[in-house]
Amino acid sequence: MKNIHSEVIENILVVTLDLQGEKVNKLTSTLSGEFEEAFKQAEDNAVEAVVIISGKEDCFVAGADIDELSNAANAEAIKTLSQNGQAFFDRLESSPKPIIAAIHGACMGGGLELALACHYRIATQHAKTVLALPEVMLGLLPGAGGTQRLPRLIGIQAALDMMLTGRNIRPAKAKKLGLVDTVVSPIGLKHVAIQAAQKLVSGQLKTRKREPTAQQKALEDTPPGRALLFRQARSMVLKQTQGLYPSPLAILDVVEHGYKRGIRAGFNMESEKFAELSQTPACGSLMSLFFGQQTCKKNRFGKPDHAVKTLGILGAGLMGAGIGLVSVQKGTRVLLKDISQENLGKGKKQIYSVLNKKTKRKAISAFERDRLMSQVIGQVNYTGFENCELVVEAVFEDLALKHRVIQELEEHINEDCIFATNTSALPIADIAKGSKRPENVVGMHYFSPVEKMPLLEVIKTDETSENAAATAVDYGIRQGKTVIVVKDGPGFYTTRILAPYMDESAILLAEGINPYDLDTIMKKYGFPVGPVTLLDEVGLDVGAHVSKDLGAAFGERVVSADPRAVQALVETGAHGRKSQKGFFLYGAQQNKGMPLEKIKSTLGKPFGVKNRKPINPEAMKVVNQYRIEGKHNHDPARVQQRMALRFVNEAVLCLQEGILFSPVEGDIGAVFGLGFPPMRGGPFRHVDSEGVSEVVRQLKTLEDEFGARYTPAQMLVDMAKKGERFHPA
């Protein structure tokens, strides 16, 4: 067999999974077929038990083959795939001989469902070993028995948490949950698994039984308790997803059905729902994003001349420290430079804090935490920078300052060193004017917080060399980022498309919409946070600065709101959350908020928001000074249309002008950098779903009412005439 190696060692059948031509194991139809064939050897009387292990370096099984799912002819074909998986795993589970899963590396999706069908699970204590059922992130549910086996193994509440979030479970947590029976060192895993198999056969070793608490028994082991549990879970899901994602609710339905009607009925409903979900628009959008991410993890510029072994970072603030954190964890030595020891102390403390939390979660050892910290060298000079292959600057957004920094730096680095700027809006070509070697200058726009945000926007100027671009993309991928590459220009891609969206929110506020309502309306559209809260998080001072620059570059199409309003707000000291006051109040300022009665009388009764942040009365006073008089239609669907279409239209203009290289990168950048609703798939996928002609019609209607800021991109008009779309149907 090509992808399976089997051998009998001391009466134990060891089945090694090793999908040829792939870095990871995936449950392809070919691998599954060979696996079933190999498993027949277990029927030999001489075989007493079976060990399933991986031949890959850091992967047990990464999950099902998404390409096969995507290419399946119809829902019936997908239902058959699910039923076939269920049937084979049922054979494993019902085997009279012990079956042991020896897990090292990623054990995800169908890989974990395989492990759940085994009688005993061993996991290695290793940073690469994670267990998860992430199907919900693709708009699906576990389709090979996972919805039924997992809750019966670890309890309903813990299982729902795993399936509804898709979160990764580390080995120590997995053992605590009862997801695995034991955790061992990666060294000699096969030998340990064989020994465990022999002890299971002899009766010296027993599988661990879950011991639920009294509260868990009351909730999970009685029909009234389960009814309450599922009711609360549905309420939580609807609150968190706004009802926009069908898969979490389907997961709840299938798990509950299995408890009400029995595990066989649960399996049947699981395969039916798996097939149904595969045909939903949300699943199509999320699948599109999955394939887009795979595309963005490839380096179109090829291999760089030099791999980055030592990274220099200029500026130890939140961004600089965040970049240092994600870099040192990938094996890079980090030279963190700042002008003050105090800032260096804060930066290193930030890095240590995140690593220490990992230590407490047992994701890494205390020794590994300290080893990583030893690779972050804080300094106020340029000692060692001559050894850097890449230097990233993360200083304040001031062009003159960046010129001084790059000129000073070039006295200390070698001629091959690549200089990357982490600006969010300043054109890279303008920054490169301060360099003696502009071909080595590239943009690397990270998003905050760096350790949590998955996107990296690499910006290439006309002078940026292929090697500089290759170095930036290669290193971003090594950092674990999803990388998009865009052409240089004011605001690049992400900042530029966010600007008109935020501008429209400022106009709506000036029209008198309640800040609470505007946030709620856009969250119901699918954004993770509302635009008013987002502006407070970004900082009103930063927003005013970027708005001024982009307004100068693009005029009223991007910035139509009265710029005096935000500037007046900034002058009151309202810089957003960092100053404890923006449109909302934070921290010690919260007791100064507008009373609810005043909000009702001036802005109307807010809806749909609980635990509200207090509104800043000073902010509303300034907004009222620049009030747009007249009667305004703030129907939620209308507000969503106005906000979303400015975002989408600007994205298309970026593609039209060559700032973007592909719709795929445009969708990825919008979703993973700015929070565009994932179930809509990104601005380009959204246009395809709505229909280009329909989007043009909506834009023209708004253009008639509001003017040039809604003029459709010429690319949209042309595509509508030809009946074209951005992505293949």
Span 266-307, pLDDT tens digits = 999 999 999 999 999 999 999 999 999 999 999 999 999 999
Mean pLDDT, rounded, for 17-22:
93
Choose the catalytic residue: 457, 618, 650, 665.
457
On whether the CB atoms of residues 444 and 421 are closer than 8 A, the answer is yes
pTM value > 0.85: yes
CB 11 within 8 A of CB 41: no
pLDDT value, residue 609: 47
Per-residue pLDDT band at 608 (split at 50, 70, 90): very low
Which has the higher per-residue pLDDT, 436 or 595? 436
- Give the rounded distance of the alpha carbon of 696 from its chain centre: 30
Please report how the helices 246-261 and 263-278 are oriented relative to each other, as an axis angle in degrees rounded to 10.
160
**Could you read off the pLDDT of 44-86 as tens digits, one per residue?**
989 999 999 999 999 999 999 998 888 887 999 999 999 999 9
Contact 603, 597 (CB under 8 A): no
User: What is the helix (H) or strand (E) element at residue 690, kind and residue range?
Assistant: helix 683-690
Compute the average pLDDT of residues 187-215: 90
Per-residue pLDDT tens over the stretch 243-258:
999 999 999 999 999 9
Q: For position 588, what pLDDT does the model report?
A: 66
CA distances from 27 to 18, 60, 275, 287 (A): 11, 11, 17, 17
pLDDT at 702 > cutoff 90: yes
Portion of the chain with pLDDT greater than 70, in percent: 97
- 574 touches 515 (CB < 8 A): no
Q: Which residue has the tokens 């990764």?
A: 168
pLDDT in the model for residue 604: 53
By the 10 Å C-beta count (0-12 exposed, 13-18 middle, 19+ buried), 485 is classed as buried
* Integer angstrom CA distances of residue 268 from 85, 139, 257: 12, 19, 10
Tokens 């389709």, located at residue: 143
Q: Which domains does the chain have, with CATH numbers?
A: 4-279 (3.90.226.10), 310-487 (3.40.50.720), 494-634 (1.10.1040.50), 637-722 (1.10.1040.50)
Query: Which amino acid type is present at position 317?
Result: G
Sign of the CA dihedral running 360, 361, 364, 369? negative
pLDDT reported for residue 105: 97
What mean pLDDT value characterizes the chain? 93
Does residue 457 carry a catalytic annotation?
yes
Lowest mean pLDDT among 14-23, 436-445, 574-583, 609-618: 609-618
